[in-house]
Amino acid sequence: MAGDAKKLQPIIIKRIKKGGHAAHGGAWKIAYADFVTAMMAFFLLMWLLGSTTEGDKKGIADYFASPLKLALLSSGSGAGDAAHVIKGGGQDLSRSTGQVKRGDVEAPKDTVNLHQLKAEQIRAEVARLEDLQRKVEEALAGNPELKALAAQIKMEMTADGLRIQILDEEGRPMFASGSAGVQPYMRRLLQAMGGILATVPNRLTLEGHTDAQPFAAGDRAYGNWELSADRANASRRELLAGGLPEDQVLRVQGLAASHPFDRRDPLSPANRRISIVVMTREAEDRVFRGPAPPQPVPAATAPVAGTPPEPAARSDSSPDGTAR
């Protein structure tokens, strides 16, 4: 029986289960990523603030204070203009943005000497007019018909430019007597000269001159003033026929006998002439500017008492009025 009891005794098996932690989610990873991002943003902000100029900082502050006003008034690039004359701030005028190292680039200095520039322009103009004079002389020498008129052509450099004068000669007048009718050889000369003058950009002045012989009817009808102006205008037409551009003629005037070529003989044929002035730029500017305004004359001061009077001007005329 005892053996049977042992056989019937139940066998108890104890199983020990190891305890575990509760399941966790991934929320800590998100928090850690946010922390790292915030730290990176902080360090980027500190780096940007350390490398930004004071002018840019002032501009950023102004933008957040009144963004609409800054957007309307600013030119766009760099808000640092508020504190410096240089865009972006700094000391170097050669830069247009903010500077980290100031003064490391030396701005090139471009200086222009106006007097030297004007002198060079005058020298270039004189050289061009001298070259024009050589061209006229070569054209006269290369044409047998025009070569015969070379003695009637006088050229000289003046303050206004190159003056080319075509003079009358006894037995070889440029125009018909008492009229503006151009002689055939004078027409060919003027047309050939018009083609040469067209090679330079200088403007021209045409002047007509006569001798002192008055017309029978006098100046009240048709006199030397009208004749000299008509002859200058007739010469202008022949120059244009030779190829001279019309806008290159600046002025046409008749001077009658007011500026004689031969002052000793007012009736000399040489006083009947046409003057062509190839003007310099300065002379052209004087025409457009007009005459200078008159300067005020200082008031005469009374002589100081006790000072001797100034000696009178010496007269070079004898008592009867004739020059000595």
Interatomic CA distance for residues 171 and 157, integer angstroms:
29
Give the model's pLDDT for residue 208.
95
Residues of the chain with CATH 3.30.1330.60: 128-289
Token pair for 124: 């270039």
Tokens read off for 133: 């004079």
Q: What is the pLDDT of residue 260?
A: 93
Would you give the DSSP letter of residue 270? Answer: G
CATH superfamily label, 128-289: OmpA-like domain (3.30.1330.60)
DSSP conformation class of 243 = T
pLDDT (tens place) for every residue of the chain, 324 residues total: 555 555 666 777 777 666 555 555 678 888 889 999 999 999 998 888 888 887 777 877 777 777 666 555 554 444 444 445 555 455 555 555 555 444 445 555 555 677 787 788 888 888 999 999 999 999 888 888 888 888 899 999 998 999 999 999 888 889 998 889 999 999 999 999 999 999 999 999 999 999 998 877 655 678 899 999 999 999 999 999 999 999 999 999 999 999 999 999 999 999 999 999 999 988 888 888 876 666 676 665 555 544 544 444 443 443 443 333
Q: Check residue 240 and give its pLDDT.
A: 96
Closest CA to 281 of 128, 105, 164, 73: 128
Distance CA 21, CA 213 (A): 138
Q: Which of 226, 228, 217 is nearest to 168 (CA)?
A: 228
List the one residue out of 116, 96, 205, 222 whose CA is nearest residue 160: 205
